A and B are shown apart, each in its own frame.
Chain A
Amino acid sequence: MKFWPLIKVLPVRTHFRFVRLSRVFSVLSIVAVIGSLWISLYPFKPPCGGLACGIDFEGGTVLEISTAPKPVDLAKARASLEGLGIGDVQVQGFGAPSSALVRFQQAPGGDASATVTKVQQRLTQSLGAVRFVRTDLVGPKISQELFGKGLLGLGLAILAMLLYIWFRFELQFGLGAVAALFHDVFLTFGLIAITRIEFDLRAVAAILTIIGYSMNDTVVVFDRFRENLRKYKRMPLGEVIDMSINEMMTRTIITSMTAILALAALAVFGGPTLYGLSVIMLFGITIGTYSSIYIAAPVIMLWGVKRGGDDEEAVPLKPATVR
C-alpha cells in the first residue's frame, strides 16, 4: 500500500519560515487579545463583566424541567412565574423541546429553599405533569467563594507554570510561555463571551485544562529549541526557532488531531452538559498550538537568550553496535 502508514507519506521535514511572519501574527494576536478582554469585561458588571455568568459565580437557582413527551410551553411557564417577587425569571429551551431551564434569583434575605418550592408549585399548576430533573441552587455566600476560588485557581496555575518553566529552562523561556498562556486564556475568555457559553466552574476547569495543554505544547517546542541552541551555537536565533518548530511539526499535528478528535466526539455526543466544556477546550487547544509557535517563541526572540561558544563538533557516528 502506497499511502499507508501515512507517516511515510507526510513530508519528512517542513521548512516554513515561521519567524518571518511573527510580526504580522504578533500584531494580530495583540489586537485579538485586546478585543477579547474588552468583550469579556464590558459592561464591567460584577462579578462576570461581559461573560454569561453562571449561578456558580452569580448565585441563584436553575431548575431543569421536563414535560416529556409533550413540548414545554415556555410562554405559559413564564406567565405562571410572574408576580412571585423574585425579580427576573428566565425560562428557556434546553436541548430537547420537552426540556427547559428556569433560572431565578432568590429574594434578598429570603429563604432560597422556600422560593424553589414555590416556583415548583407554580410550574406544576400551569404545566400539568412536569418533572424537575435537576435543581442547582447557589447562595450568595457560596457564589462569592467559588468566584474567588476560580480566579485564584487561574492565577495560581499561570504562576506555577512560570515557576516550573523558569526552573526547568530559563527565565526568558518562562516569560515566553506565560505570554503564550495569557494569550490563550484571554482569547478563550473572548470565545466564552461571544458564544454566550455559561461562565461557571466547568468553564474554569476547561480553561485550567487549556493551560495544561498549551503548556504541554510549549514545553515540547522549547525542549527542542533548547537542544538546538546547544547544538548550533552560531546559527541566528530566528533560524534555530524556525528549525525547532519545523522539526516538531509532525508531532504537533498528530497530537492536536487526536485531542481534536476526542473533543469533537464529546461536543457532538456528550449532551448539553459537556457541550460548553468541549467547545471551550477545542478552541483553547487549537489556540494553544498556535501560541506556542507565534507567541512563546517571538517573546524569546525579543528578550534574547544567553548562548556562546562554537557549534558543537558534529558528533562522529559510532559504528552500529548490534549484538
Chain B
Amino acid sequence: MMNLARWKVILVLLATIVGFLFTLPNLLPAKVRDGLPGFMPKNTLHLGLDLQGGSYLLYSVDTVALRNERLTNMAEDIRTTLHDKQIAFTDLAVNNGEIGLRVTDPAQVNDAVNLLRRTVGAPLAGVAGGRDVTVATQADQRLRVAFVPEAFDAEASKAVEQNIEVIRRRVDKTGAKEFNPVRQGKDRIVIEAAGENDPEKMKSLIGQTAKLTFQMVDETADPAEVAAGRIPPGDEVVVSTDGIAPSYIVSRRKPITGEMLTDAQPGFDQQGGGGSLVQFRMNGLGARRFADITRQNVGKRFAIILDKKVISAPVIQGPIPGGQGNITGRFTPESANELSVLLRAGALPAPMKVEEQRTVGAELGADAVKAGTTSAVVGLVATMIFMLLIYGWLFGGISLVALAVNALMIIGAMSLTQATLTLPGIAGLILTLAVAVDANVLIYERMRDELRAGRSLIASMEAGFGRAFGTIFDANMTHIFSAAIMFSLGSGPVKGFAWTLLIGVFTTVFSAVLVTQVLLAWWFRAARPKTLPIA
C-alpha cells in the first residue's frame, strides 16, 4: 500500500470536492445560493412531504361506474332507435356490465339485431366495419349488448388520461404550485402537492366529478306509483339538495350537458335577495337546444343536476335565447366560486375515489426537521467521540475524516439526484454513517491481528486492507439486498429510507476503503512509524 496508486489519490480528492460542491447549497442561505455563479450546483436536498408539509393523494378511477354510465347512455340510444323503427321491446336494462332487452315480436328479432349492430356504439379504430360493442341473441327473443373488453379497456385508459388533464386544469385555475398529477398503473392517479394547507379543499376540488346536466322534470309522473317503485320508463329519480323537494322525477334524456358550457363565473342575484349564483354561457349547440327547450316548455320545470344531485329545479318563465343563464341554488360565495372553477375546467370523464391520503401540516413538518436534525447531530457526535475514545486521535481521526467524506458524498448525491429525503430517510442516514465506521474497525482490527501474528508493520497494513476488503464487500452486499427490496415496496417515506441506505452502501465502501487507505499511506510516508499507535 506504500505504492499508493495515483488514481486512488485523485479519485479520493475528486470525490471529496464534488461531494462538497453538491452539499454546499444546503449549507448556504437562500440569498447566497441564488448569487452563486451559473456553473455551481444549486439544488438543495429535496425534502419529502413529511418534512415540508403537503399532501399525497392516491385516487382510483372507477372504471365500473364509467362503463355503467356509458351503457346507460347507450340504453337510451337503443330506446330511441327501436322506437323510431317501430320495434316493440320490454325489459330494457343495464345489468352486470351489459344491456339486456327482450324484443316482443319474434319476427323482429333479426331486424333489431341488424339495426343495433349498425347503430349502437362507436366504430372500432383499425377494424373495417368493427364496432366497440357486440350484440348477441339469446333464448326467448332476448338481446345482450356489451362492450368488446379490449375496446373498453382502451377507452378506460383514455378516460384516466383525460381525468389527469381535467385535474391539472382545475388546480391550475386556483394557482397552486408544485402540483403534479401522475398516472400509476392501470387506473390510479397519484397527486402530490407540497405546502397545500387545506387538503380538504383540494380534495373537494379534485375529487368531484362535476358532471352537469339539464334534464326535464316529469310532472306527469304519479308520485304514489314512483314511491311503490314503478318509475315511468325513460324516467329516473334524482335526490335533491335544493331544500324544496327531497327528490325529483326527471326524464333520462340529457339535452344539455356540462361540455356545452363555454364559461362559468360566480355572481350575485341582482333581483332576488343578492344570493350567490353561477352565471354560465353555452356554445352554439347548447344555446340552440336551450332556446328550443325553454320555448317549448314554458311553465314547466327543468332540473339542473350536478353529480346526480339536483341543485335547483326552476320553472321556465319564458324562452331564453342566446345561451346565457344563471344557476341558482343554495350557494355561498365560496361554493359558487368552486362550482364555476369546476364547470370551466370540465367534468371528470370517469368518477374517482380516494384510496390513500397522507397529509402532513407544514408545522408538523418543521417539527420533524428539527427532531431529525437534533438526533442526527447527537447521534453522530456520540459516534465520533466514541471512535476517538477507542482509537485515539490518529486512527480515530482518520475514521472521522472518512466519515465526513462519506457524509458529503451521501448528501451531495441526494441533492444531485433530487432524491426525496424523508424523516425515516434521516434515520437511515444517521444509521448508515454510524455503522460506516464498521469498515474502519474491520480494517484496524485486521491490522492488529496481523501484527500480533508476527508480521511486519507494513505487511500488516497491506493485509489489513487486502483481507478486510472481502469482508467489507460481503457485509455491505447484504445491505444492498435489504435496501433494494425496501425500495421496491413503494410508499414514500419508506422509499426515502431505503434510498438513503442504498446510496450509503456505495459511499461507505468507497470512503472507508479508499479514503482510509490514502490517509494511512500519507501518515506512513510522513511519520515512518515503527509500530501502530493502536497495537
Contact = CB atoms under 8 A, between A and B. Distances in A.
Interface of A: 4-8, 12, 56, 64, 66, 111-113, 116-117, 120, 131-139, 141-142, 146, 149-150, 153, 156-157, 160-161, 164, 168, 201-202, 204-205, 208-209, 211-213, 215-216, 219-220, 223-224, 227, 247-248, 250-251, 254-255, 257-259, 261-266, 268-271, 273-274, 277-278, 281, 317-323
B203 A4 contact: no
A220 B441 CA distance: 12
A271 B368 contact: yes
Contact of A268 (B368, B375, B431, B437): B375
Contacts of B491: 56, 146, 201
A272 to B, nearest CB: 9
B533 A323 contact: no
Give the bracket for the number of chain B residues in contact with chain A.
35 or more
B514 to A, nearest CB: 20
Nearest to A209: B482
A201 to B, nearest CB: 5
A157 B484 CA distance: 9
B471 interface: yes
B391 A5 contact: yes
Q: Is the interface of A mostly helix, strand, loop or mixed?
A: helix
Given A258-B437, A274-B371, A157 B359 contact: no
B481 A5 contact: no
Contacts of B389: 4-6
Contact of A261 (B50, B383, B458): B383
B434 A261 contact: yes
A270 B479 CA distance: 23
Given A4-B392, A146-B491, A266-B430, A141 B60 contact: yes
B494 A139 contact: no
Given A5-B389, A135-B357, A141-B60, A265 B430 contact: yes
Contacts, number: 248
15 contacts: A135-B199, A135-B357, A135-B358, A137-B356, A137-B358, A139-B354, A146-B490, A157-B482, A160-B482, A204-B494, A205-B498, A220-B442, A259-B431, A262-B433, A270-B427
Interface string B342-368: 000000000001111111110110011
A270 B375 CA distance: 6
Contacts of A4: 389, 392
B13 interface: no
A271 B434 contact: no
B298 interface: no
Given A6-B390, A258-B434, A142 B356 contact: yes
A129 to B, nearest CB: 14
B382 A270 contact: no
A274 B423 contact: yes
A223 B469 CA distance: 11
Interface stretch (B73-81, B249-257, B449-457): B449-457
Contact of B494 (A201, A266, A269, A318): A201
A7 B534 contact: yes
A111 B434 contact: no
Nearest to A106: B354
A51 B286 CA distance: 59
Given A5-B533, A136-B357, 5 more contacts: A212-B478, A265-B376, A277-B424, A320-B456, A323-B2
B402 to A, nearest CB: 13
A266 B375 contact: yes
A150 B431 CA distance: 22
Given A137-B354, A258-B438, A212 B361 contact: no
Max count, chain A CB within 10 A of own CB: residue among B368, B374, B435: B435
B519 to A, nearest CB: 17
A321 B457 CA distance: 10
A182 to B, nearest CB: 15
Contacts of A202: 424, 493-494
